[in-house]
Amino acid sequence: MMKTRKVWELVDPPANKTINGSKWVYNIKHDEENKPKKYKTRLVALGFKQKAGIDYGETFSPVVNFSIVKLMFIALVSLLGWNHVQLDVKSAYLYGKLNEKVYLKQPPGFIVKDAESKVYLLHKALYGLHQSGRSWNCELDHILKNLKFDKLLWSNCLY
């Protein structure tokens, strides 16, 4: 997935730049009988070393009030007889483009042979970076506007 989405490229470590660590987070999804159904893993950046104004700029990303979303859907579906669809974007942050140069140590267990001293220059956001939520929101906003969706004046999250 990281290669397909062009999340990073291997580079020599730059001088005087923060090199973030990373770790693997593991999760087990269970079925209705609490039996393991799916094993998942996610690489996260250890962004606590990032410095505001140096390693990242804006971090604000809007959050929708879920009560408003439910009310809007119930009203539109009921009054207009619309069908509705719900979706989830898997690994959403990996779509968010980074504006800053962010470097990451090679993840544990995935050190590239003969390139052990190199680090990754991130092109896309990872969970754990301060700016990841905003990066994903900016990308989603761009996609929806290109699809001719209009953002509601009173909500930054509804189109």
Distance of alpha carbon 95 from alpha carbon 86, whole angstroms: 19
Give the span between the Cα atoms of 20 and 107, in whole angstroms: 10
- 64 and 158 in contact (C-beta within 8 Å)? yes
The Cα 135–Cα 130 span in angstroms is: 10
Can you give the pTM of this predicted structure? 0.82
For the cut 90, the answer to whether the pLDDT of residue 70 exceeds it is no
Three-class SS state of 37: strand
* DSSP code of residue 53: T
More confident: 84 or 118: 118
99-135 pLDDT per residue, tens: 999 999 999 888 999 999 999 999 999 999 999 999 9
pLDDT in tens, 14-66: 998 999 999 999 999 999 999 999 999 999 999 998 988 888 898 988 888 88
